[in-house]
Amino acid sequence: MSLKILLPTTIPLDPRLPGDFTVVSYDPHEPLPEHAVDAEALVVWGNSGEMLRDAARRLGSLRWVQTLAAGPDQVLAAGFATDVVITSGRSLHDGPVAEHTLALVLAAARRLHRLTRAQIGHRWAGELGGIQPITTSGAFRTLRDARVLIWGFGSIAGTLAPLLTALGAHVTGVARTAGQRGGHPVISADELPGELPVTDVLIMILPSTDATRHALDAARIALLPPHAWVVNVGRGSTVDAAALLGAIRAGRLGGAALDVFEDEPLPADSPLWDEPDVIISPHAAGGRPLGADALIAENARTLIEGTPLRNVVAR
């Protein structure tokens, strides 16, 4: 018996599927055509929320949803039946997100955002060039000996941490379970009050859940030293943006490099745009699911075999 799998047109996909599967392409921005509603499998990438809700209502034979996003929050919110297995794109974005995060951290350290503003104004920013102090206590100006805290120490952090340590940073992770991962110490969130005051850079890679909403709130922001930077490449809902901006404006925080926001696109009237020590990128860290074909093919095989799929999302 042939199983129908729906593949989105937002990315070229050619997974080596078992012969039991028939492939149907679909537009993630349009309602599913009638000839697709008997599909057993759905691959998601760049879908609108409306389209996903429509799919959840109409795909009566659906057994499995594979999102290529690292965070499955949009799929979880669509209302798929509880017996539908949802698998995430965990690991597909490790390299791209780690690379982008490193770029944001280095941009903050070397003040590239201020150099860009000076360039636009045709101003030679001499204060940022020429002879510079070797040690910069009370300021984040280098990864050399910097204390970097990564909150959300999953597979992306596992790729990012060695890049940071290669440039001299001391990396600590934060996860639900404390211990050691990849040679790096990992603490629990309960231990944050002791770690935040000695942090130079806090990197947020948390998923969007009820439990993580505004995980970085005013109280925790207040524990960071005045020179610290916050970098968020996880989900915008995990940071209280108003509290973050208030701390930066009051001189109680060095700055922030943000790739994700609670409202996306970031509204044109957001005060974040004009803050000199806020770096904004348009949810650009991911967007390149490397190895998607292999993950889809692997999970399609295990679906037929009746064995556990990879990256199953707890519901």
199: helix, coil or strand? coil
What integer pLDDT is reported at residue 206 of this predicted model? Answer: 97
What integer pLDDT is reported at residue 313 of this predicted model? Answer: 97
In whole angstroms, what is the distance from residue 147 CA to residue 145 CA? 6
| Torsion sign (Cα): 60, 64, 65, 71 | positive
| Torsion sign (Cα): 213, 215, 221, 225 | negative
- H or E segment at 304? helix 292-305
**Is the whole model's pTM more than 0.75, yes or no?**
yes
232 contacts: CB under 8 Å, gap ≥ 6: 203, 204, 216, 238, 239, 256, 257, 258, 259, 260
**DSSP letter (8 states) at residue 262:** S
165: helix, coil or strand? helix
What integer pLDDT is reported at residue 257 of this predicted model? Answer: 98
In whole angstroms, what is the distance from residue 105 CA to residue 230 CA? 9
In whole angstroms, what is the distance from residue 169 CA to residue 184 CA? 11
What integer pLDDT is reported at residue 1 of this predicted model? Answer: 61
What integer pLDDT is reported at residue 117 of this predicted model? Answer: 96
Please name which of 162, 158, 163 lies closest in space to residue 106, comparing C-alpha atoms: 163
What integer pLDDT is reported at residue 135 of this predicted model? Answer: 81
114: left (phi over 0), alpha (psi -120 to 50) or beta: alpha
- Does residue 24 contact residue 40 with C-beta atoms inside 8 Å? no
| Side-by-side strand order, sheet with 64-67 | 21-26, 3-8, 41-44, 64-67, 85-87
Which residues, given as ranges, of the chain have pLDDT below 50?
none
What integer pLDDT is reported at residue 5 of this predicted model? Answer: 98
In whole angstroms, what is the distance from residue 109 CA to residue 260 CA? 20
Which member of 57, 110, 283, 301 is catalytic?
A: 283
What integer pLDDT is reported at residue 137 of this predicted model? Answer: 80
Give yes or no: 57 in active site.
Answer: no
| Torsion sign (Cα): 269, 209, 72, 295 | positive
Which member of 235, 249, 252, 288 is catalytic?
A: 235
What integer pLDDT is reported at residue 138 of this predicted model? Answer: 87
Give yes or no: 35 in active site.
Answer: no
In whole angstroms, what is the distance from residue 136 CA to residue 278 CA? 20
Say if strands 229-232 and 255-258 run parallel, antiparallel, or are unpaired. Answer: parallel
